[in-house]
Structure 1
């Protein structure tokens, strides 16, 4: 009896699978011809991390506190800052992150006390070398503004 039951169950799973295939066969194609056509990204898209530019100051608000560096589970963030005035706070001069090992978990964005980190909407960050993924966000922000 088990032999015939296996044949019936196997045949039924084949019919169910063919129904799924048949439905997908007649749906329109959703392929995007990438270099000529661009994808419409969702507003919730989370790309790589970047520094937010505040319009009041015209620069980032990173105080080089190192919270993001400590909370990063991959250990790919290095922050350096300098005090510009004796009584003033620190300002980040280098914010280096290795995107080749970054898991894009978002813990650095959530933990930032000045809310100066955000997710980018850029999805074309490639390079011929592994070292093209190691980026100084402060330098990148300054280059994009000029």
Structure 2
């Protein structure tokens, strides 16, 4: 590799990732009670510093509570938050940030050989999708007092 060529570090480094594990994708919940949102986050060599959650598809974000300290590099970190949902459909998202300040992006960029780093909240596109760490939406349906009878 020539000295002036980009390293494409994002293809080689483990970037911040997060995954909501509860409630289950597509769940129907009651707005009469609080819901526990839980998940896991990891970031490779750099520990997870924070996780944010959105219940409106990314319009607003709040900090999740992180569980115990990670057991070391590459270890997963649990996160949780209590949510009091209102009636309607909601799209839950989680995004992690590592100790270097790298934030999990929203999407993968369109093909662009010039993009070698996260720009405009999008991960650099590559043919095989290696290293893609964009957060994945998790849809949850909420209902209030509907009687199925």
Point out the structure with the larger strand share.
2
Larger radius of gyration: 1
Larger relative contact order (CA 8 Å, sep ≥ 6): 2
Q: Normalising to structure 1: TM-score of the pair?
A: 0.27
Q: Normalising to structure 2: TM-score of the pair?
A: 0.27
